């Protein structure tokens, strides 16, 4: 039985790792396995976290960094820091206030939250509770008409950007604990969308190619969607430089280097390993963001040094949400921002623009 969330932050929580340690006591076992798990043997899940530690920072001393800051601007939003809450589905699995608590914390801390298509509150209700800019994460709804309806709802509710997830037309989530069926309870139901109806398969047809993938979007659909909305569309789930180049060519406003937290294709490259290649081909045309294994302020510095404009965090803020609701998420963001500030100061960087490959060894 999971414990009730805390109403105050224990003094021994001083990092994202501490929140992960605490969170297991506040999340039901099946939901914990769903949150923590990855695809197949979880090789990519492990690589995401391990890869950041392979890169070292090179300290600089006696640098004048007084009055430095972590401010940045992304897609028209002025932010206090480059730490973005990634879209995570069905957050009421982890705390009764779910997405409402997360977006409240992000806004109070001067940042952005990305609300999932699969949220457990309506996108309109979440928007009314926000204290800062919101972006909406979009899954393709099996056709243009249905997808456009969702976009128009996001526009009307005041969302500032669309984060189109392109790497998960077929879900590969399956770890050893999840092989037993896991179903989302009605209290955390995905209320913004209807369940897709898959085509009827004749004997010998493939559930993947003739089923799921027959409803999946293509580059033509992305190009069409960009023409249907005034909101910037950011493609999330780009790993290959050729896909990054195509994203720019069709008019995407940005890309997120992501492998879906290691939850889709096992043995996919860690995001750290491909970031520099994506940044190189994009060549400054649009911002490049990254998620996957970001757990420390030093990880953020490394990501920005390799050319990212900002980072997204996923599981860490869900750990904080489960532990202490909006207070926990806000505290986690503060911890990561303080770690970022310390890392910048000790590598001689006064602003985010000062962070470059010279801080790396």
Q: Provide the CATH number for the domain around residue 253.
A: 3.20.20.70
pLDDT, residue 112, reads 98
In this model, does residue 175 exceed pLDDT 60? no
Residue 175 lies in a domain: no
Q: Is 19 a known ligand-binding residue?
A: no
Residue of 95, 260, 319, 331 marked active site: 260
Q: Is 315 a known ligand-binding residue?
A: yes
What is the tens place of the pLDDT at every residue in 123-160? Answer: 999 999 999 999 999 999 999 999 999 999 999 999 99
Q: Is 308 a known ligand-binding residue?
A: no
Residue 182 lies in a domain: no
**Residue 90 backbone class (left: φ over 0; alpha: ψ -120 to 50; beta: rest):** left
Residue 181's pLDDT band, with cuts at 50, 70 and 90, is: low
Nearest residue to 116 (alpha-carbon basis) of 162, 168, 153:
162
Nearest residue to 330 (alpha-carbon basis) of 72, 102, 21:
102
In this model, does residue 179 exceed pLDDT 60? no
Average pLDDT of the chain is 93
* pLDDT above 70 as % of the chain: 96
Nearest residue to 255 (alpha-carbon basis) of 265, 270, 271, 244:
244
Distance CA 39, CA 334 (A): 31
pLDDT, residue 173, reads 44
In this model, does residue 172 exceed pLDDT 60? no
Q: How many domains does the chain have?
A: 1
Instruction: Give this prediction's pTM.
Output: 0.94
260 is annotated as an active-site residue: yes
Residue 156 lies in a domain: yes
Q: Is 37 a known ligand-binding residue?
A: no
In DSSP terms, 256 is beta-bridged to 236, 289
Tell me which residue range forms the domain holding 242: 16-58+71-168+212-359
Q: 177 or 277: which carries more pLDDT confidence?
A: 277
Residue 41 lies in a domain: yes
What is the tens place of the pLDDT at every residue in 55-89? Answer: 999 999 999 999 999 999 999 999 999 999 999 99
pLDDT, residue 176, reads 46
């Amino acid at each position: 039985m999971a414990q009730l969330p805390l109403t105050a932050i224990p003094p021994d929580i001083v990092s994202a790792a501490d929140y992960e340690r605490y969170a297991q006591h506040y999340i039901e076992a099946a939901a914990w396995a769903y949150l923590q798990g990855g695809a197949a043997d979880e090789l990519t899940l492990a690589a995401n976290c391990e890869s950041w530690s392979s890169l070292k920072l090179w300290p600089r001393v006696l640098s004048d960094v007084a009055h430095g800051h972590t401010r940045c601007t992304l897609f028209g939003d002025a932010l206090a820091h480059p730490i973005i809450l990634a879209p995570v589905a069905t957050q009421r699995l982890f705390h009764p206030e779910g997405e409402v608590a997360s977006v409240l914390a992000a806004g109070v801390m001067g940042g952005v939250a990305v609300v999932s298509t699969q949220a457990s509150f309506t996108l309109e209700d979440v928007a009314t509770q926000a204290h800062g800019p919101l972006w909406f994460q979009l899954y393709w709804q099996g056709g243009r008409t249905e997808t456009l309806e969702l976009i128009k709802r996001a526009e009307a509710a005041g969302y500032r950007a669309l984060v189109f997830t392109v790497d998960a037309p077929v879900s590969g989530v399956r770890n050893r604990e999840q092989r037993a069926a896991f179903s989302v309870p009605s209290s955390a139901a995905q209320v913004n969308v209807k369940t897709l109806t898959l085509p009827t398969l004749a004997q010998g047809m493939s559930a993947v190619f003739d089923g799921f993938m027959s409803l999946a979007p293509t580059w033509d659909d992305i190009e069409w969607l960009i023409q249907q909305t005034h909101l910037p569309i950011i493609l999330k789930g780009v790993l290959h430089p050729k896909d990054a180049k195509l994203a720019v060519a069709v008019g995407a406003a940005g890309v997120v280097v992501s492998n879906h937290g290691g939850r889709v294709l096992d043995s996919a490259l860690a995001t750290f390993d491909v970031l520099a290649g994506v940044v190189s081909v994009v060549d400054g045309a649009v911002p490049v963001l990254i998620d996957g294994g970001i757990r420390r302020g030093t990880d953020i510095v490394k990501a920005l040094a390799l050319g990212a404009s900002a980072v997204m965090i996923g599981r860490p803020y869900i750990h904080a949400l489960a532990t202490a609701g909006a207070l926990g998420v806000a505290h986690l963001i503060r911890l990561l921002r303080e770690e970022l500030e310390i890392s910048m100061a000790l590598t001689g960087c006064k602003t985010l623009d000062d962070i470059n490959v010279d801080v790396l060894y």
